[in-house]
């Protein structure tokens, strides 16, 4: 059974320091390919470099390149050209992580909108898929996406945690949906359980968002309290249970979906 983790923050200090061992555990657990997330220009460069360092074959590790809404205040007149250069690298498979975060507002909202719109414009220009982040901003996000969607090849709402109306809005725009260990959290994730069956099989992908969002259902729990790609199977189990599917079927569907979205090679 093969799985693809579409969001690993491998450049995070807690993971980068032990990346080779972490990857070995992931491969042993059936996670055959991973997308390393870029959340700023510097971290996008680091994620790409990790792909080169840790995957000489160029078959297993790929990355995104973009500026997260938390860092949108850093977006300036040079950011677009710097990002465009990263996006031409063969291992970079999507624009992002970009989007809107009106929950924490670490960057002013006008700056978030500007950075998102300019990254969407790059995705249109280069005809690349988009890796999106959204918290408490679904209405504004949908407004912006409607302006670009017809010209974008594809987009995924990563780590979806919203309500039914937001999910249906994204699905109406033919977006993909990424599900994390949030669904394993009995304190804040149970509202997702009845929604999982509404996501079409060809629009659903799985992710850990490691080192964040350790599945609370995982047993035994790691002493570090840190999430890693090897635990993606726990997300698979929870999603399969609430969709009424076998884990094998869901693994096949989500792997095929991720492979098509990011244009990944087949691993035999």
Percentage of residues of the chain with pLDDT beyond 90: 96
**Confidence at residue 38, expressed as pLDDT on a 0 to 100 scale:** 97
What are phi and psi for residue 145, nearest 5 degrees?
-65, -35
CA–CA dist 233, 215 (Å, integer): 10
**Confidence at residue 35, expressed as pLDDT on a 0 to 100 scale:** 98
CA–CA dist 158, 177 (Å, integer): 6
Mean pLDDT of 195-212: 98
Token pair for residue 1?
């059974």
**Confidence at residue 245, expressed as pLDDT on a 0 to 100 scale:** 97
Please give the model's pTM, rounded to 2 decimal places.
Answer: 0.97
CA–CA dist 243, 236 (Å, integer): 10
pLDDT at residue 267 greater than cutoff 90: no
Domain boundaries, the chain: 3-262
Which residue has tokens 């500007």?
114
Average pLDDT of every residue of the chain? 97
pLDDT at residue 268 greater than cutoff 80: no
Q: In which band, very low, low, confident or very high, does the pLDDT at 102 lie, cut at 50, 70 and 90?
A: very high
pLDDT tens-digit profile of 56-95?
A: 899 999 999 999 999 999 999 899 999 999 999 999 999 9
pLDDT tens-digit profile of 130-141?
A: 999 999 999 999
CA–CA dist 230, 210 (Å, integer): 10
Mean pLDDT of 40-55: 97
**CB-neighbour burial class of residue 120 (10 A; exposed 0-12, middle 13-18, buried 19+):** buried
CA–CA dist 176, 217 (Å, integer): 25
Mean pLDDT of 231-256: 98
Mean pLDDT of 211-234: 95
Q: In which band, very low, low, confident or very high, does the pLDDT at 142 lie, cut at 50, 70 and 90?
A: very high
Count CA within 13 A, CB hemisphere, residue 64.
34
Mean pLDDT of 20-48: 97
Apex 142 CA angle, 258 and 36, nearest 5? 30
Mean pLDDT of 21-31: 97
Mean pLDDT of 209-222: 95
CA–CA dist 37, 43 (Å, integer): 8
Q: In which band, very low, low, confident or very high, does the pLDDT at 171 lie, cut at 50, 70 and 90?
A: very high
**Confidence at residue 95, expressed as pLDDT on a 0 to 100 scale:** 98
- Fold classification of 3-262 is TIM Barrel (3.20.20)
What are phi and psi for residue 107, nearest 5 degrees?
-120, 150
**Confidence at residue 126, expressed as pLDDT on a 0 to 100 scale:** 98
């Amino acid at each position: 059974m093969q799985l693809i983790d579409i969001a690993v923050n491998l450049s995070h200090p807690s993971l980068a320091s032990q990346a080779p061992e972490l990857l070995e555990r992931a491969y042993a657990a059936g996670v055959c390919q991973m997308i390393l997330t870029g959340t700023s220009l510097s971290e996008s460069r680091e994620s790409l470099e990790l792909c080169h360092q840790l995957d000489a074959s160029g078959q297993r590790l790929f990355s995104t390149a973009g500026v997260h809404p938390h860092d949108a205040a850093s977006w300036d007149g040079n950011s677009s050209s710097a990002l465009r250069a990263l996006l031409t690298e063969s291992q970079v498979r999507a624009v992002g992580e970009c989007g809107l975060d009106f929950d924490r507002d670490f960057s002013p909202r006008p700056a978030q909108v500007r950075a998102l719109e300019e990254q969407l414009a790059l995705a249109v220009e280069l005809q690349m898929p988009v890796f999106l982040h959204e918290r408490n901003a679904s209405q504004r996000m949908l407004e912006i996406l409607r302006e670009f969607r017809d010209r974008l090849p594809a987009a995924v709402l990563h780590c979806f945690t919203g309500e039914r109306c937001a999910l249906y809005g994204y699905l109406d725009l033919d977006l993909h949906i990424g599900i994390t260990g949030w669904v394993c959290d009995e304190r804040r994730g149970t509202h997702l359980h009845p929604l999982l069956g509404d996501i079409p099989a060809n629009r659903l992908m799985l992710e850990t968002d490691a080192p964040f969002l350790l599945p609370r259902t995982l047993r035994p729990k790691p002493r570090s309290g840190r999430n890693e790609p090897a635990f993606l199977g726990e997300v698979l189990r929870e999603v399969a249970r609430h969709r009424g599917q076998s884990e094998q079927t869901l693994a096949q569907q989500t792997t095929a979906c991720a492979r098509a979205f990011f244009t990944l090679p087949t691993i035999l």
